[in-house]
Structure 1
Amino acid sequence: MAERDGWRCWLCDEPVDPLMSVNDDRGPSVDSLATAKAAKAAKGKSPAGAAERLAHRGCNTRKGAIKPVVPWPTRLFVADSAPLIGVAERLRRNGGREVVARCPSRADADKTAGWLVDRFSRLAPELAVSTSIEPGGGQFMVALTAARR
């Protein structure tokens, strides 16, 4: 799992040091992501079908206290960026296509599309996502399309 995730935290997307103590906030931790419905049905146990992902211990602990948010990097120039965990849950449940951001230029849209494919490979590894970029209104819409693997 850690190798699959490229030793990067699925929540903050920062590197996880495999040699760091698991008791350190920056140390490795295993997190399972399940829908709220599946987690409630499991009643405290690990939900069936929950995907395991690598996370920093601190990120994993904070996720238990607050709803997790996957940040968009500041190096990308995007407007109206969608909350990625919600996008992942909808695509996992329904498949299909969802517009996730608007960019002012084609170059910005291309960078955003590349980042999204890489990010979803760790956020939702069971989904095969592809991106599409559509011009409109002087901007470029970036959409994700998902198919189950």
Structure 2
Amino acid sequence: MSQLEDIANQDGWRCWVCDEPVDATISVNDPRGPSVDSRATNARSAKKGAADFAGGERLAHRGCNTKKGAVTAVIPWPSDLVLMDPAPLITVAERLDRKGGREVVVRCADRADAQQVAHWLVDRFSRLAPALAVDASIDPGGGQFVVALTAARRR
């Protein structure tokens, strides 16, 4: 089995950037084809020997991998979710992985939207950072609902 197949099987044949399925039958030269991303999000993280989240190899579409280049990838939020002031998910994952604790991620107009967002976040983080166990909480405040993720500090 090739390195690509090993990494793809580990990630369930899903792109870590866009979370869409990767088709094994598409050429690796096609933008929707599979590629291996080293996931070192920045030189400083790599030098410090950052935790498992920032390092390691993950499956990505060739186009997603090329588009992000050597900069931190932007994980898209689903367009069907109603949210305000969403935090960049890579930054949230890195901070939670490094420090543990609680991180406010987004605000929603009503509890139903907040519950849908919280469910999506826990599900998305299970694939984005598989070694990072997170729980979502919803807190009312100022006529809105704040969604936060909590992770236990690992050491």
Sort the TM-score into its range (normalised by shorter chain): 0.7 to 0.9
Number of equivalenced pairs: 145
CA separation in 1, counterparts of 2:113 and 2:51? 39
Counterpart-to-counterpart distance in 2, 1:35 and 1:122: 17
Shift, 1:52, TM fit:
2.3
Instruction: Indicate the percent of aligned positions where both proteins have the same amino acid.
Output: 70
Q: TM-score, normalised by structure 2?
A: 0.83
**Preserved CA contact (<8 Å) 2:41 2:71:** no
Deviations 1:96-125 (A, max 9, x none): 100100011111011101110111112111
Cα 1:84–1:48 change in 2 (3 A) is closer
Code of the residue aligned with 1:56 in structure 2: it is: H
* Residue segments in structure 1 that go unaligned for 5+ positions in a row: none
| Superposition deviation, residue 65 in structure 1 | 4.9
Match of 2:96 in 1: 91
Give the AA of the match of 1:122. R
- Kept after mapping to 2: 8 A contact 1:18/1:27: yes
Q: Distance in 2 between matches of 1:140 and 1:35?
A: 31
Q: 2:19 aligns with which of 13, 17, 33?
A: 13
d(CA) in 2 for partners of 1:107, 1:72: 17
Q: Which runs of 5+ in 2 are unaligned?
A: 1-6
SS, match of residue 24 in structure 1: coil
Q: What's the counterpart of residue 39 of structure 1?
A: 46
Which has more strand, going by share of residues?
A: 1
**RMSD over equivalenced CA pairs, Å:** 2.2
- The answer for the alignment partner of 1:100 in structure 2 is 105
Retained in 1: the 8 A contact 2:51–2:97?
no
Q: Equivalent residue of 1:29, what SS?
A: strand
- After TM superposition, give the deviation of residue 137 of structure 1 in Å: 1.3
SS at match of 1:20: coil
Amino acid at match of 1:39: A
Could you state the TM-score of these two structures normalised by the residue count of structure 1? 0.86
